[in-house]
Structure 1
């Protein structure tokens, strides 16, 4: 089994540190995306990010003629990591795909807000902007600081802005996961995507956009609940958090 973890925008692979102890037996692989963490010097470009993840997978697993060989491959991504996870799953077979904090809110007001965020990211106070951005993607824990290129931040933001859902090409089991306090991914959009892809929809209580940072133990439980050979087991909202008032 292989579990691949892809971080959210403005974070790096260390943001998974709270989750890793709970899934250590799965041998997880974390990857720094271009423009982030140890890949800071590599400018972000979507195809390049996908290739970087594919290279990491093939380096992590035994391969035959460049094709990863594993009893099961599970890919988990949050935010921009979810976009890349989806792309990776269209290049190689993965058994399960867990997309957190996805899709991005495409309403006109949110598109304008992202354009303003991009302008701020390129301002003189780059460090201050990134600190403020990270403070807004969690609710109960502080997102860890990470080396991030402002230019790559903007490039990733733009890649997410132009994303549109495409038909899933295979029978990969998919879960769409959203932090209940996420202000960047709407519940309506996430539920709609889950319905379109025949995916399981899960909300995590007391969590924002970087839900795996806010609730690492709950997300470790979710990741351990992987494919048993017949698609995802029946995971419900109640396994991660009590339903919000009025929700069943």
Structure 2
């Protein structure tokens, strides 16, 4: 709960930040014809390619604890979505998940990689679903974690308006730093360790206000059902979330999985930011989601 925040460490452990620079350093790729760029972080040198997509309150760096456990057996690529970090924002003031997906397609084309697995977390899950619904070069598998389903579906107009109002008013009144200070209480379980709290806060402090506003517009204007309904039937897809997730709750994620006939599992003792709070368990889930012929080498 938020009353404990004054006792949280102000910064992540120095060794974590050193590992970020040495083993998960930021790179930039030029995509498209208009000079757009996508910042991303990459770890590992061989094996299957795993693409990691962050949520609305995070960025590529946040995947470090989980990605470092995967990098020995895989090439791990985590992007900063458009409008995040040093990635060029989208041109649309109210983009859809498909717009983010097309920028991801540009990144993968620029890097010349074919993912074995795409992992989307929270709002990144909505983007990942849009990707597989709209591109020809599909990953072998899709894993959606703590799924933000969007509020753009029929009958959700009032809810979408309220969510947008709350998020944008909080941004204006608190600023990015204020959002970051209260982030751990919402994104992590009460029992999480101070290091995870500091890591969530550090990553949130690096949000770009305009990129965040665009992402809020997408969250409130799009709907994952439309994309999952169009995903290729032969693409193995599964859903998981933290057992203590209070943002995209187990019942909500479980109902989504049931609606589309997808496997569903829980990550024990994890809140919304499952890949930070329970990095080892999430890494095991990611490895298990790889195609069998690739998982054996990972």
Return the TM-score normalized by structure 1. Answer: 0.78
The residue aligned with 1:97 is 142
Q: Give the distance between the partners of 1:31 and 1:205, measured in 2 at CA.
A: 26
Deviation at 1:222, TM superposition (A): 0.8
* Range 30-39 or range 151-160, more displaced: 151-160
Q: Does 1:55 align with 2:106?
A: yes
Q: Give the distance between the partners of 2:254 and 2:175, measured in 1 at CA.
A: 37
> What is the root-mean-square deviation of aligned Cα atoms in Å?
2.6
Conservation of the 8 A alpha-carbon contact between 1:2 and 1:28? yes
The residue aligned with 2:31 is none
**Structure with greater helix share of residues:** 2
Conservation of the 8 A alpha-carbon contact between 2:51 and 2:78? yes
1:62-108 residue CA offsets vs partner (Å, 9 max, x unmatched): 5xxxxxxx4x6210011111111111112132221111111448689
The residue aligned with 1:10 is 57
Q: Give the distance between the partners of 2:65 and 2:245, measured in 1 at CA.
A: 19
Conservation of the 8 A alpha-carbon contact between 2:126 and 2:149? no
Conservation of the 8 A alpha-carbon contact between 2:242 and 2:272? yes
**Does the residue aligned with 1:182 lie in a helix, a strand or coil?**
coil
The residue aligned with 1:216 is 279
Q: Does 1:76 align with 2:139?
A: no
Q: Give the distance between the partners of 2:58 and 2:142, measured in 1 at CA.
A: 20
Q: Does 1:130 align with 2:192?
A: no
Return the TM-score normalized by structure 2. Answer: 0.66
Q: Quick one: which of 253, 260, 270 aligns to 1:197?
A: 260
Distance 1:108 1:209, change over 3 A: farther
Unaligned 5+ runs, structure 2: 1-47
Unaligned 5+ runs, structure 1: 63-69, 233-248
Q: Give the distance between the partners of 2:53 and 2:145, measured in 1 at CA.
A: 10
